[in-house]
Amino acid sequence: MMKNAKERLVGATGSVSGAASILGSWQVCHSVCLGIVALLSLVGITVVGMPLFFFTKIAVPAWIIAVMLMGVVLWLYFSRHCISKSLILLNSGLIIAGMPFQQVQQFSLYFWIFGGVLAAAGISLFVKEKTERKK
The string of pLDDT tens digits covering residues 47-64 is 666 666 666 778 788 888
Residue 111 pLDDT grade (very low, low, confident, very high; cuts 50, 70, 90): confident
* pLDDT value at residue 29: 61
The domain tally of the chain equals 1
Of 94, 73, 90, 98, whose CA–CA distance to 126 is shortest? Answer: 90
- 12 or 93: which leads in pLDDT: 93
Region 111-115: what's the mean pLDDT? 88
Q: How confident is the model at residue 117 (pLDDT cuts 50, 70, 90)?
A: very high
User: Is the CB of residue 20 less than 8 Å from the CB of residue 69?
Assistant: yes
Q: Which domain holds residue 116?
A: 2-134
pLDDT over threshold 70, residue 3: no
Task: Name the 3-class secondary structure at 63.
Answer: helix
- Mean pLDDT, the chain, integer: 78
Confidence of residue 46 (pLDDT cuts 50, 70, 90): low
Contacts of 89 (CB under 8 A, 6+ apart): 118, 119, 121, 122, 125
Find the range with the poorest average confidence among 47-61, 64-78, 92-106.
47-61
The pair phi, psi for residue 52, each rounded to 5°, is -105, 25
In whole angstroms, give the CA distance from residue 64 to residue 66: 5
